[in-house]
Structure 1
Amino acid sequence: MKIISGNRSFDLDEFMKKPLFAHLSTMADEGPRESPVWFYWEDQCIWIIGTPPSDTFPKRIEENSKCAIGIVDFDRRTGKVLHAGFRGSATVEKFDKGIATRLLTRYLGPNEEEWSPNFQGLGDSNVLIKFVPETVVVRDQSYAPSGE
């Protein structure tokens, strides 16, 4: 993975530990599509849970593995704008309960019994998307906020 960073950069691994939304961009016959997703960063790969047929991005990835992912950490009050833009390829993988649990724990907390029923008991009807980045642009685009 090639990291492209300028003089205003940040630590990618620390950034990827945050429970932020990622935006997965894939191609369809009708043109590009974007899906907001939760993610898990492990061994320089991004993992995403898919639930076919309600999630259509797994099918698009099977048809065209090239995709992009954008993640932004933004705070209007402080002017913080951290952006990581990934380009690479993804594959649809068999569901792995361990990866899925690590992913969901970041967003929902450690106690699965307290999670929304939407996220409890995921299994073989789900898939995992494994995104392998070729390049990532890491930019701190923060600014000094104006007084309110």
Structure 2
Amino acid sequence: MQTFDPVEVLTLPLMANLATVSSDGAPRNSPVWFIWEDSALWMPGAQGASAVKRLQQDSRCSVEIVHFDNDAGILLHLGFRGHALIEPNCPALFKRLLRKYLGPESNWNEWFIENVARINSPSGRMIRLVPESTFTNNVSFFKTGPVLAWPPTGWSLESD
């Protein structure tokens, strides 16, 4: 199995799935945008959001990110596990996250920024996960056989 550099996936504007635990022990899953900075995965939240509330009760979580391009034959899976912290909103960090997905600020939809993103909202939170374990899986051979669509970089993280 060939490995890949997780940072190459983390820089792409992909959706992540944040898995948390509810107060009754049931698993919950939330699709989220993210940014990788300072060896941490940062995801937006809000003071009253369900994922933020669950993480405040039980900080255990996992995040799964999949880069899938059927035409190119790329299928990369990156997983993180650990304990998340809920941080106050950081407008500068949140803007960098939004640029990753929305492009330059001149392209941003004003209604979305004012009514949904609310960059400067005091109720905004950032979910911070410094992974305690990391899992990478490159199954880009699903179309090509042993010739991988994603060239390995020679760098990998240990699997758990």
- Taking structure 2 as the reference length, what is the TM-score of the superposition? 0.80
Q: What is the total number of aligned residue pairs between the two structures?
A: 139
- Identify the match of residue 44 of structure 1 among 25, 28, 39: 39
Residues 37-76 of structure 1 correspond to what in structure 2 (within 5 A)? 37-53=32-48, 55-76=49-70
Q: Which residue of 2 aligns with 1:4?
A: none
Q: Which residue of 1 aligns with 2:12?
A: 18
Give the drift of 1:114: 2.6
- Identity of matched residues, %: 36
Structure 2 counterpart of 1:142, one-letter code: S
| SS of equivalent residue, structure 1 residue 78 | coil
Alpha carbons of structure 1 residues 112 and 128: separation in structure 2 relative to 1, 3 Å: farther
Q: CA RMSD in A?
A: 1.7
For structure 2, the residue ranges without an aligned partner over 5 or more in a row are 145-160
Residues 132-147 of structure 1 correspond to what in structure 2 (within 5 A)? 132-145=130-143
In the alignment, does 2:83 pair up with 1:89? yes
- Taking structure 1 as the reference length, what is the TM-score of the superposition? 0.86
Give the drift of 1:113: 6.1
Q: Deviations over 1:21-64 (max 9, x none)?
A: 000000002400000000000011000111243x3100000000
Q: Which residue of 1 aligns with 2:123?
A: 125
Cα separation, 2, equivalents of 1:56 and 1:111: 28
26-35 vs 111-120, which deviates more?
A: 111-120
Structure 1 counterpart of 2:32, one-letter code: V
Structure 1 counterpart of 2:109, one-letter code: W
Comparing both structures, which one devotes a greater share of its residues to strand? Answer: 1
For structure 1, the residue ranges without an aligned partner over 5 or more in a row are 1-6
Comparing both structures, which one devotes a greater share of its residues to helix? Answer: 2
Q: Which residue of 1 aligns with 2:149?
A: none
Structure 2 counterpart of 1:69, one-letter code: V
Cα separation, 1, equivalents of 2:7 and 2:15: 16
Give the drift of 1:81: 0.3
